[in-house]
Amino acid sequence: MQPEILLTLSAGSVAPLIAEKDPRCPTVFQVPQFVATDLQLRGLNLPASLLAGFGLPDIDRLRDEADRAHCPVLLLSEETPIDFTDRGEVFAKARDRLKRLALAANRLGCPSIAVRAAAADSEQAFEATVQGVKVALREIDRYELNLLLSPDEGLTFDPTRLTDLIKKIGGFRIGSYPSFAHAAATGDVEKALRKLAPYAPAICASIRGFAKDGTHEGYSLEACVESVRSVGYGNTLALDFSNRDGETEVEGKKPRKGARKPSISDIIEVLDRGRQVLEAATSLPELEEELVEEEE
pLDDT of 249: 39
How many other CB atoms are found less than 10 A from the CB of residue 286? 12
Q: What is the pLDDT of residues 75-112, one digit of tens each?
A: 999 999 999 998 889 889 989 999 999 999 999 999 99
Averaged pLDDT for residues 180-203: 97
Structural domain count, the chain:
1
How many other CB atoms are found less than 10 A from the CB of residue 231? 13
Strand 236-241 vs strand 202-207: parallel, antiparallel, or unpaired? parallel
The enclosing domain of 45 has a CATH number of: 3.20.20.150
Residue 1 lies in a domain: no
Residue 242: pLDDT band (50, 70, 90) is confident
Residue 259: pLDDT band (50, 70, 90) is low
Residue 280 lies in a domain: yes
How many other CB atoms are found less than 10 A from the CB of residue 81? 17
Strands lying side by side in the sheet with 146-150:
174-176, 146-150, 112-116, 73-77, 44-47, 6-10, 236-241, 202-207
Domain of residue 263 covers 6-295
pLDDT of 91: 86
Residue 240 lies in a domain: yes
Does residue 62 carry a pLDDT above 80?
A: yes
Q: Give the integer Cα–Cα distance in Å for 35 and 251.
A: 29
Summary mean pLDDT of the chain: 90
Bridge partner list, 248: 253
Q: Give the integer Cα–Cα distance in Å for 291 and 287.
A: 6
Averaged pLDDT for residues 252-271: 73
